Structure 1
Amino acid sequence: MRIAVIGAAGRTGRHVVRQALGQGDDVVALVRHIGSLEMTHPRLSVIEADVRDVDSLREALRGCDAVVSAIGTRSAPRVDLYSAGIANIMQAMAESDIRRLSAVSAAGAFARTHRNLTFGYKLLIRTAYRALYDDLEMMETLIAASAMEWTIARPSGLTDGLHTGDYRIGLTGQPLKAGGKISREDVAGFLLKSLKVDTWLRRAVTISE
């Protein structure tokens, strides 16, 4: 499989790239700045592209079979990277006849007051993270309304732990437990797995230890 990884230089995206190469896939790593992903491999192509520029995406995605969206932002207060980015990503995918998509969201999307979110995290969602969650939910809405063969991953608290393959998958998309965590490496592993099996097709699932 030839997989495009958007946000490949990010803290989760680079794990997706490494694991896909390790599984024998060809990888097209989309980064905002060449040099931000210090990785070389015979089956790796690194391409500069911007999710706000559909033309750059269209060129980069040509010939790919599937897409992983691991885009992210830490900016505030106005955030529209996720919704604007996924709209452009899906437009470029459609024009290249690519249908398989796995995207990263976050635990708490469409469940901001769920009992399995800690009080502190609920407070953040209402305040500092409010715009971020508004945009994540818009992104998910756009994906769900599309004709793509999609899976959305809502990871709990992200860590820099090792890949274990030992985590729970919540099929309802609701947070699994208060203070739950999962390593970025395990998130990467799930994203790749979801491209190759239909178990979570057209579902938003929560993943946590």
Structure 2
Amino acid sequence: MKNTTIALLGATGKAGRYILKHLINRGYTVKALLRKPDGLDFRHPKLVIVPGDVRDAETVSDWTAGCTAVVSALGQTPGEPLVSALAARHVINAMQQHNIKRYIFLSGLTVDVQGDHKSEANQAKSNWMRQHYPDVVNDKQQAYQLLSQSTLEWTMIRLPWIEQTEQRRNLAINLHDCPGDVISTADLAAFIAQELSSATYVHKAPFVASI
């Protein structure tokens, strides 16, 4: 992956930390946008830390410059202003400015896509989230709508419960319903690395799970 640089958002999160290390182990250079750089204790010659906030459009433009793809593992921090749709707008604009095409971003089961056929159990989980966190769910749904209407080569990976582990399992992928209750961070990171060089799920929103 010589001379290939990935812009990573959410590198201090429970999934982002594993994604960061896996991409570097695969030979990528990673530019990580961090509001609090001290929150990441990992350092590597192929890691470039960019201090800043995704809510600032100029910062996002500077962060993505020189990259070949963007990966977002951004989560919503409790008690803070909604960030998903705003981040999507800024990332889309920056990627178009720098002629970057590939964008992979993580989301939850609750985001709906045309063609979904969620099981009764998964639909119940979605309904619970919509009932208890309507603003967060709507913000993530809006972020998806913005990306789906863009010209980017986007993939939205929809996740069940994230299990933080280096252990690889069997990865199940389904475009219509989530095939399992958990996704291991090792499996997720490997899938993202695979999709950076694949067009299999461009303009699609696969559910993934470890089984």
TM-score between the two structures when normalised by the length of structure 2 = 0.89
TM alignment of 1:158-177, pairs within 5 A? 158-164=162-168, 166-172=170-176, 174-177=177-180
Aligned equivalent of 2:62: 59
Residues 68 and 103, structure 1, Cα contact 8 Å, conserved in 2:
yes
Go from structure 1 to structure 2 and tell me whether the alpha carbon gap of 1:163 and 1:142 turns closer, same or farther (over 3 Å shift). Answer: farther
Aligned equivalent of 2:149: 145
Aligned equivalent of 1:87: 89
Go from structure 1 to structure 2 and tell me whether the alpha carbon gap of 1:15 and 1:54 turns closer, same or farther (over 3 Å shift). Answer: same
**Which amino acid in the other structure matches residue 103 of structure 1?**
F
Go from structure 1 to structure 2 and tell me whether the alpha carbon gap of 1:107 and 1:35 turns closer, same or farther (over 3 Å shift). Answer: same
- Counterpart selection for 1:7 from 2, 5, 10: 10
Aligned equivalent of 2:106: 104
Q: Detail structure 1 runs of 4+ shifted over 6 Å in the superposition.
A: none
Residues 102 and 191, structure 1, Cα contact 8 Å, conserved in 2:
yes
What RMSD, in angstroms, separates the aligned Cα atoms of the two structures?
2.0
2: distance between equivalents of 1:126 and 1:65? 35
Residues 162 and 184, structure 2, Cα contact 8 Å, conserved in 1:
yes
Residues 113 and 122, structure 1, Cα contact 8 Å, conserved in 2:
no
Number of aligned residue pairs? 204
SS of corresponding position for 1:201: coil
TM alignment of 1:21-40, pairs within 5 A? 21-40=24-43
Matched, 1:199 2:200: yes
TM-superposed CA distance for 1:47, in Å, is 0.8
Go from structure 1 to structure 2 and tell me whether the alpha carbon gap of 1:130 and 1:184 turns closer, same or farther (over 3 Å shift). Answer: farther
SS of corresponding position for 2:8: strand
2: distance between equivalents of 1:55 and 1:146? 20
Listed as ranges, the gaps of 5+ residues in structure 2 are none
**Which amino acid in the other structure matches residue 198 of structure 1?**
A
SS of corresponding position for 1:176: coil
2: distance between equivalents of 1:126 and 1:13? 25
TM-superposed CA distance for 1:106, in Å, is 0.8
SS of corresponding position for 1:35: helix
TM-score between the two structures when normalised by the length of structure 1 = 0.89
TM-superposed CA distance for 1:158, in Å, is 1.2
Listed as ranges, the gaps of 5+ residues in structure 1 are none
How many percent identity over aligned positions? 25
Go from structure 1 to structure 2 and tell me whether the alpha carbon gap of 1:45 and 1:108 turns closer, same or farther (over 3 Å shift). Answer: same
Residues 160 and 184, structure 1, Cα contact 8 Å, conserved in 2:
yes
